[in-house]
Amino acid sequence: MSSPRQHFLVLTFPLQGHIAPALRLARRLHAAAPDALVTFSTTEVAHRRMFPAKPDDSDEDDGRLEFLPFSDGTEAGYVRSPDPGSFNAYMASFHAAGARSFGQLVDALAARGRPVSRVVYTLMLPWAADVARERGIPSALYWIQPVAVFAIYHHYFHGHAGVVAEHRHDPSFVVELPGLAPQTVADLPSFLTDSTDPSDFFHSIFTTIRDLIETLDKESPKSTVLVNTCQELEVGALAAVGTQAHDVLPVGPVLPPGDDDASIFEQDDDARYMEWLDAKPANSVVYVSFGSLATMAREHLDELLRGLEESGRPYLCVVRKDNKAALLADAETKVDEELKNGVAVEWCDQVRVLSHAAIGCFVTHCGWNSVLESVVAGVPMVCVPRMSDQRTNAQLVVREWRVGVRAKVDDGGVLRAAEVRRCMDEVMGNLEAAAEVRRMAEEWKQVVTKAMGKGGSSDRNLMAFVDGARSAV
């Protein structure tokens, strides 16, 4: 009888910012372990959006990479609603139905002769580790935010919740967590300051992260945490987590191989904006995107576009279809008609756009994928963080790596046109400080490229994970 094959099952929450790094990791595992099977799994709803043409037939050609969804117990996933309890109610049923369905998936794979040998799960699925443990399958968390954020959550849930809870309404209060640079309450992940009350819209994210940290503590002798970062970017934060409780392996930035990056969004015709970019001088274009979730109200968008127009620089701005729909419900004007010096798209291939020579700056909400993609491309950033890990990520960009500036918003949270112009000058202008930001961006690009390349730190860590997983089969 032949020995069982290595089989990684990569499981992810159904958001674009989770699906992208998880799928990229699945493809990296597929390439790094040429004999292994890899199964990628997200919810049925997201799966149908990833594969609209043939949702039931999503095997990859060589038979080693398979896409099999699990059920979150709903027909349509979470549907945005102003009902304050809607998201928390969805999450409660997501956890219950997801764990059940995921268990069935693991059992069905075993019954088909493709037993799973290692579960790899992203950060909103603590039950994945329990389902795996119950079946004697080792698991690894794939942390898709920086180690700095993991370290904050780790320490918060290991004895430091009190000080944060006591001062959570004081944004300037300085918190000191073991091994980490002092940081203000305003720079902590928002779920620790805004979502600890059960009445908060996102309270279930706070409790899920708490459950996740507890789940990791259950692993014996210690848990494995793969992180979408590289060790050179986060030396201090890695030391702050330590090696006692967790085996933390930075394996990133994990990027799409070539042009093959699945998305749950329909992309604009890429020829249109890529040709537009081709005609622009090097480093001249401002790219603007606030990720897959954040939406802009009319006033925010108007100020942003006015600032971009007044800066005199060409720009490529993502205004998602769902955001446009919300704006059109408020006002009759269309987004695209107002632009003189720029182009608006509903969704683009961001990795490709950022690597285009014409791009000189990225105005970003600092979602971790966007930050990493910008660092890899050597593009300086203007940071406009809002929630979740984005404020901490912006600190890394501005303070630790010095590859960007932070835009100030007014008391109403609006980024004003004058501030947009100021920030453009600070990273794209002629002053020495701007040249320094660009120089640092180029330097970090080299560091990160080396880490990702063959024999680099992240490559070695991934190979060590694959080899460890192979010997455990």
Only one of the segments 41-49, 135-143, 288-296, 415-423 lies at the binding site for ligand UDP (rule: CB under 6 A); that segment is 288-296
Only one of the segments 70-78, 128-136, 158-166, 290-298 lies at the binding site for ligand UDP (rule: CB under 6 A); that segment is 290-298
Q: Closer CB to ligand UDP, residue 318 or residue 398?
A: 318
Enumerate the β-bridge partners of residue 119: 9, 139
Contact residue for ligand UDP among 17, 69, 250, 378 (CB under 6 A): 17
Binding-site residue total for ligand UDP (CB under 6 A)?
19
Cα 152 to Cα 191: distance, rounded to the nearest angstrom: 11
CB atoms within 10 A of CB 35: 8
Asked if residue 461 lies in contact with residue 454, where contact means CB atoms within 8 angstroms, the answer is no
Q: Site mask, ligand UDP, residues 76-95, x = CB under 6 A?
A: --------------------
Residues 6 or more apart in contact with residue 121 via CB below 8 angstroms: 10, 11, 12, 128, 129, 139, 140, 141, 142
Q: Closer CB to ligand UDP, residue 69 or residue 291?
A: 291
Work out how close the CB of 89 gets to ligand UDP at its nearest, in angstroms, rounded to a whole number.
Answer: 22
190 scored as a contact of ligand UDP (CB under 6 A):
no
Asked if residue 215 lies in contact with residue 126, where contact means CB atoms within 8 angstroms, the answer is yes
Q: Which of 18, 203, 300, 356 is catalytic?
A: 18
Query: In the window 314-333, what residues touch ligand UDP (CB under 6 A)?
Result: 318
Q: Judging by DSSP bridges, how do beta strands 342-345 and 315-318 pair with one another?
A: parallel
Cα 383 to Cα 20: distance, rounded to the nearest angstrom: 21
Active site residue 18: yes
Q: Site mask, ligand UDP, residues 361-400, x = CB under 6 A?
A: ------xxxx--x---------------------------
Work out how close the CB of 303 gets to ligand UDP at its nearest, in angstroms, rounded to a whole number.
Answer: 20
Q: Which two tokens stand for residue 63?
A: 């038979």
Q: Site mask, ligand UDP, residues 251-280, x = CB under 6 A?
A: ------------x-----------------
Only one of the segments 80-88, 200-208, 284-292, 428-436 lies at the binding site for ligand UDP (rule: CB under 6 A); that segment is 284-292
Work out how close the CB of 161 gets to ligand UDP at its nearest, in angstroms, rounded to a whole number.
Answer: 25
Q: Closer CB to ligand UDP, residue 223 or residue 370?
A: 370
Q: Closer CB to ligand UDP, residue 306 or residue 386?
A: 386
229 scored as a contact of ligand UDP (CB under 6 A):
no
347 scored as a contact of ligand UDP (CB under 6 A):
yes
Q: Closer CB to ligand UDP, residue 45 or residue 177?
A: 45
Q: Determine the straight-line distance between the first and last CA of the chain, rounded to whole angstroms.
A: 15
List residues binding ligand UDP (CB under 6 A). Answer: 16-17, 20, 263, 289, 291-293, 318, 347-351, 367-370, 373
Tell me which residues are annotated as active site: 18
